[in-house]
Amino acid sequence: MTIRTLLIDDEDLARLEMRHLLSAFPEIHILDEASDASDALDKIRRYRPDLIFLDINMPGKNGFEMLTELEESPHVVFVTAYDEFAVRAFETNALDYLLKPVRPERLEKAIATVREAGRELATPVSTSASAQNYMLRRDSLVFIKDGEKCFFVRLSDIFLFESEDNYVRVYFGTEKPLHRKSLNMLIEKLPPELFFRANRQQIINLENIKNIEPFFNGTLRLTLHNGMRVEISVRRAGEFKERLSL
């Protein structure tokens, strides 16, 4: 199995060093390199790599800012020279990061993690997909940054999206960070077999419904697996019943 990889770092020598270190791993296929965030965004959308090595401190947008612009994130291994802020963000998450200069053993461990995750990740490459008509899949990774906390979450693990002002609160596990995207933009990219718009404010994951009961005036009340309650508006109730009977 090859892991299609993109290297992102603003320093030529840092990329050279990464290439050198990665030459020890035959399954790593380096597609290309990018030297800043906008270059990287172009190349990620073009190549749809499985994995990126991402420098955090870059001119223009930094690594985190770059990730928040992507609809879907590849697997990410962060690489940083010294950044207290970044390391703090990782503490709450199961993300991997490497410190420069990178130790080969540490790199091996990071790649082993990617390999592990990659078994479920092998997907056909969609080279023609532009940002507009691009659809997320159930195993797509979404990067969410809320303040100092960062999350990579698999789409199928999210059980509820809820609009909050101009953004979306995303519920998964025990977390509910704020995602800087709008609900309307999101619904167009979500796979319709998995997500359903329950009302103006909420989108639910259909696999996460524990209980359905009739409520007032033709509305329905759902209980999710985590105990949260969601109401299906009258307008949406018909379509909801249709969807479930299928």
Short-list 101, 98, 122, CA closest to 110: 98
Give the Cβ contact number of residue 93 at 10 Å.
Answer: 14
Q: What are phi and psi of 104, to 5 degrees?
A: -55, -40
User: What does the per-residue mask of binding to another protein show for 78-107, with x meaning CB under 8 A?
Assistant: ---xxx---------------xxxx-----
Question: Which is closer to another protein, CB of 9 or CB of 96?
Answer: 9
Lookup result for tokens 């009340």: 221
Question: Which is closer to another protein, CB of 104 or CB of 218?
Answer: 104
The alpha helices in the chain, defined as continuous H runs, are 12-22, 37-47, 63-68, 84-91, 104-118, 183-189, 234-245
Shortest Cβ 113–another protein spacing (Å): 22
- Stretches 33-41, 68-76, 124-132, 146-154: which one binds another protein (CB under 8 A)? 33-41
Short-list 208, 121, 211, CA closest to 173: 208
Question: Which residues on neighbouring strands pair with residue 149, listed in sequence order?
Answer: 146
32 counts as binding another protein under rule CB under 8 A: no
Question: Which is closer to another protein, CB of 147 or CB of 227?
Answer: 147
Residues 34-63 that bind another protein (CB under 8 A): 35-36, 38, 57, 59-60
Among 6, 7, 14, 54, interactor with another protein by CB under 8 A: 14
Cα–chain center distance at 63? 14
Interface with another protein by CB under 8 A: which residues? 10-14, 16-17, 20, 35-36, 38, 57, 59-60, 81-83, 99-102
